[in-house]
Each structure stands twice: as C-alpha cells, then as structure tokens.
C-alpha cells in the first residue's frame, strides 16, 4: 500500500512539569515515541514523518540512529491540523492512491494489529477513523452521526453542546486519509473555535460534505490502546497497564508469577518452561531465561542470558552476563558486564564480579570482588578476597587454575597467576605467580607493641 505515516510530537506537555519533551517520557523503559514508532514500523509504509516542536533537537538526537525518519518542525503549536500542514510538502502527491496515517507520539499503547486493520479498510476515496466507545468521554472529541448512523463531524468537548456531550463514541485522533483530499481540506481549515487552533478533526465535516469521499469508523473498546498522556498520573497509569500486558503474556507462556502486578519489563524477555519469578523483579534490555529458572524477589536482570535450572536469589543485580546451568547466584550479589559463570558455579551474598570468567563448579560464597579474571574449575574463593585489578591507570588480569583454594581475606594483586592445585593461606597478599601444587603464605610479620596508648579526641 502507498502509505505515509505522520506522528505528531510537537507539544511540550506543560502538565508533565518537566523540561523533557513529553514524547520522550518513558513507558516500560522506552520513550512513548519509541512505542509509537515500533508500532508504525510494523506497517508497510514508504515514509514515517515526525512533527516536532518543543525540544526538537533533543528528540532528533534520541532517534539519530534511524536515518530514514523524516522530521518536520512545528515552531508554533497552533493545533493538530497546523501540525499536519508542516508535513504535506514532503508527501509525494503524484503517487496514485497515496494515503496518510496520523498517529500521536503521546499515545504509546496502540497495537500494531489495530493499526494494520485500520489501514486494510482504507482507500483513496475514504476517510477512515479509529473511534472508541467509552462510559467516560469527558474531555474528548465526540463522534457525531446522523439518523442513518453516518459520521458527519467530530466536535471537541469545549465546542460541544450539552446534547453532544452525552455521546459515548469518541475520537481517538488516529485516522487514515487520502493524501490529495487531505491537502485540499487542510487549506480550508479555520481556527474559529474555543482554543483558537486549527483542528485536524474539522476535516471530517469536510469529508462528509464531499460526495466523492466516504467516512468509515473502526470502533474499539480497549481504552488503554488509545489513551494519551498529559500528566504524570496518566503516565503512571499506562506504565502499569503496559506491565500488566507483559505479565499476561508471560502467564500465557507458562511462567509462574508470584504477583503479576509486581513485575517490570523494560525491554524484551524470552522464557523457557517452568520459570518462576518472585515479586518486584525488573528485566531490562534483552533477557533470556532458560528452563527451570527461579528468580527471587527484588532481582534486577539486564541484557543477560540465564541457562537452565539457575537459581537467582533475592536482591541480586545481573548486568551483561551469562549464567551457566545449575548455578546459584545471590542473595545480594552483583554480577557486572563481561561476567561468564560456567555450569554449577556459586556466587554468594555480597560478591561482585566484573569481566570475569568463572569455571565449572567454582564458588565465591560471600564478600568478595572478582574483577578482570579467568578462574578455573572447582576453585574456592574465600570470604573477603579481593582481586586487585587496577593500578590507578590500567586494568590487569588475574588467572587462576583448577582446584585452587584462596583463603579468606586474601588480596590477589594483578597481573598474577595461580597455577593448578595451589593453596593461598588466609590473609595473604599475593603479588607474584604461584606454581602448581604450592602453598603460598604472604603475610607481614606480626608485631605486638606493649604499653601502646589509644589516641584520644582533642
């Protein structure tokens, strides 16, 4: 289909009480405009135009990765009709059957399937509207029909009569319009209304008066799909609805959610069978959970892959990591980018890892920092062990072989290698390589000073 999409996103959103442009406020970790664009990209269109105004450069920068987007500036916000006017010179009217779909950057939860159905019923001789029947139409434009049920106009509430205010069918603002007719109708728009603005909705009355243009409406009943955001309360409401939609999908996929109302997905999540997720878990970016994975309460996982039968205990933070099968992590562990845990590993409470590969069956049960390291199989890292990987200017690597035991409160000063089967005595500070099968004791000689006086506060 010969389709251009126009997304209106010029408004500041004064009720948001924020310097951030309204369309950049986030739902589920992505801007509202991102959600609208994602739905739009699933349609077969020639071009996507975005009308910006307040914070235009900030919005463009946010989407600078997409060179195919077309930008139009609405310097003065004079209404939705005026906004669409800014795009018309960029739409190729010479192409036959050109249609224009109008969307809104602050209406983030419209399903792409809904838009696809609307587009499929459109043609070059029809104006197609997406409307909603609601028991609470206050503040919204009403769909006016004649005795035959034909749409004759859209009336904004501020301009509506008391009789018109009783109408339950409302305008969502989303419509698909023949481009040549839209161009003609826009030139005839006036601003003689309560807002003094050029309403795009006024073209509906013009279409009704056009003998060569029909008007159709696709009526939906899911209010959340077309709910716009004007303040932080509405933003919070749609955030929760978005998360409930995600929770429903997980439940349908067989995931056990301890409380579906207390889970946040800010990206994409892929799950295997028999996955269990406790309360207040947060998933960001791209997350893959294998079969039999158990996620404890208050866990945050970002851009990570969790293999089968892994148990992530409460309070753990995992970012940019791979966790091998049958491993246990947490509680309160911090697994940072570059971490790869092989199968059957154990990372316990208050252990932090970064850029570390930890071999099969190895464990650091509590209170350790493991950074820039390669750790072999069946290694035990004692409590309080620190991998000193930074000399103040550069990072260095620690390499540990298989079956190594590192005693509690030890310091491994990189670059250093501990060969297979070595044993580090508790409290050691190791700064040179240890050969295989050696015990290393690296402690300063203890001194006891008699008669020492404790300092007193001056």
3-class SS letters over 122-144: CCCCEEEEEEEECCCCCCCCEEE
Over residues 294-306, the mean pLDDT reads 98
Whether 430 contacts 415, CB under 8 Å = no
**pLDDT band at 1, cuts 50/70/90?**
low
Give the per-residue pLDDT at 282. 98
Nearest of 396, 364, 397 to residue 380 by alpha carbon: 364
Q: Residue 445 carries which DSSP code? A: P
Residue 395 phi, psi (nearest 5): -95, 145
Q: How large a percentage of the chain has pLDDT more than 70?
A: 100
Dihedral over Cα of 150, 156, 162, 167: its sign: positive
The answer on pLDDT for 65 being more than 80 is yes
CA atoms of 379 and 364, how far apart (whole Å): 8
Q: How far is CA 219 from CA 62, 133, 140, 151, 344, in A?
A: 34, 7, 15, 12, 54
Q: Which of 152-166, 321-335, 357-371 has the lowest mean pLDDT?
A: 152-166
Cβ-in-10-Å burial (0-12, 13-18, 19+) of 331 comes to middle
By annotation, the residues acting in catalysis are: 366
**pLDDT greater at residue 423 or residue 140:** 423
Give the per-residue pLDDT at 344. 98
Write down the residue that tokens 């036959």 correspond to: 96
CA atoms of 441 and 425, how far apart (whole Å): 5
CA atoms of 152 and 201, how far apart (whole Å): 11
The answer on pLDDT for 396 being more than 70 is yes
Q: What would the pLDDT profile of 94-112 be if each residue is shown by its tens digit? A: 777 899 999 999 999 999 9
Whether 345 contacts 332, CB under 8 Å = no
Question: Domains along the chain?
Answer: 3-226 (3.90.550.10), 242-440 (2.160.10.10)
Give the per-residue pLDDT at 238. 97
Q: What is the pTM of this model?
A: 0.89
Would you tell me how many other CB atoms lie within 10 Å of the CB of residue 310?
Answer: 23
Chain centre to alpha carbon of residue 241: 14
Give the per-residue pLDDT at 453. 83
Which long-range contacts does 273-280 make (Cβ < 8 Å, 24+ apart)? 277/250, 278/314
Nearest of 170, 268, 267 to residue 227 by alpha carbon: 170
**pLDDT band at 20, cuts 50/70/90?**
very high
The answer on pLDDT for 458 being more than 80 is no
| Distance spanning both ends of the chain, measured CA to CA | 84
DSSP-derived 3-state class of residue 202: helix
Cis peptide bond prior to 25, omega within 30° of 0 = no
**pLDDT greater at residue 5 or residue 447:** 5
**pLDDT band at 449, cuts 50/70/90?**
confident
Give the per-residue pLDDT at 445. 82
CA atoms of 138 and 255, how far apart (whole Å): 39
The answer on pLDDT for 273 being more than 90 is yes
Give the per-residue pLDDT at 447. 83
CA atoms within 13 A on the CB side of 340: 9
Q: How far is CA 364 from CA 73, 274, 385, 413, in A?
A: 56, 27, 9, 18
pLDDT mean across residues, the chain: 95
The answer on pLDDT for 324 being more than 80 is yes
Chain centre to alpha carbon of residue 154: 35
Q: What would the pLDDT profile of 239-268 be if each residue is shown by its tens digit? A: 999 999 999 999 999 999 999 999 999 999
Query: Of 143-157, 202-216, 390-404, where does the model show the most confidence?
Result: 390-404
CA atoms of 238 and 109, how far apart (whole Å): 8
Over residues 140-144, the mean pLDDT reads 92
């Amino acid at each position: 289909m010969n389709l251009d999409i126009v997304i209106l996103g010029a408004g500041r959103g004064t009720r948001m009480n924020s310097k951030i442009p309204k369309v950049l406020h986030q739902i589920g970790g992505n801007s509202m405009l991102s959600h609208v664009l994602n739905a739009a990209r699933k349609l077969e269109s020639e071009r996507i135009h975005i009308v910006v105004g307040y914070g235009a450069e900030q919005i463009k920068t946010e989407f600078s990765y997409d060179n195919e987007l077309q930008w139009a500036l609405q310097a003065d916000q004079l209404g939705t009709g005026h906004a669409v006017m800014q795009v018309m010179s960029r739409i190729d009217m010479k192409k036959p059957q050109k249609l224009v779909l109008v969307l809104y950057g602050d209406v983030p939860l419209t399903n792409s399937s809904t838009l696809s159905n609307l587009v499929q019923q459109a043609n070059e001789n029809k104006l197609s509207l997406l409307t909603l029947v609601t028991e609470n139409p206050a503040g919204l434009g009403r769909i006016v029909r004649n005795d035959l049920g034909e749409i004759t106009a859209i009336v904004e509430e501020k301009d509506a009569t008391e009789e018109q205010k009783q109408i339950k069918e409302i305008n969502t603002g989303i419509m698909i319009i023949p481009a040549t007719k839209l161009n003609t109708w826009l030139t005839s728009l006036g601003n003689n209304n309560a807002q003094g603005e050029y309403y795009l909705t006024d073209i509906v009355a013009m279409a009704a008066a056009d003998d060569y243009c029909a008007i159709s409406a696709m009526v939906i009943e899911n209010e959340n799909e077309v709910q716009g955001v004007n303040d932080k309360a509405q933003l919070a409401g749609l955030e929760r609805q978005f998360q409930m939609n995600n929770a429903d999908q997980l439940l349908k996929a067989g995931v056990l959610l301890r409380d579906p109302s207390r889970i946040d997905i800010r990206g994409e999540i892929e799950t295997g069978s028999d996955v269990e997720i406790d309360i207040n878990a947060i998933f960001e970016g791209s997350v893959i959970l294998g079969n039999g994975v158990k996620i404890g309460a208050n866990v945050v996982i970002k851009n990570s892959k969790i293999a089968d039968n892994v148990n992530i205990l409460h309070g753990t933070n995992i970012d940019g990591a791979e966790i091998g099968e049958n491993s246990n992590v947490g509680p309160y562990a911090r697994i940072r980018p570059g971490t790869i845990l092989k199968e059957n590993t154990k990372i316990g409470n208050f252990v932090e890892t970064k850029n570390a590969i930890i071999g099969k069956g190895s464990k650091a049960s509590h209170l350790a920092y493991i950074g820039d390291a390669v750790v072999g199989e069946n290694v035990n890292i004692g409590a309080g062990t620190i991998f000193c990987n930074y000399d103040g200017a550069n990072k260095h690597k620690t390499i540990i072989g298989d079956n190594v035991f590192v005693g509690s409160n030890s310091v491994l000063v990189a670059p250093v290698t501990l060969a297979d089967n070595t044993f580090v005595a508790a409290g050691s500070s190791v700064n040179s390589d240890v050969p295989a099968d050696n015990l290393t004791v690296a402690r300063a000689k203890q001194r006891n000073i008699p008669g020492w006086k404790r300092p007193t506060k001056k």
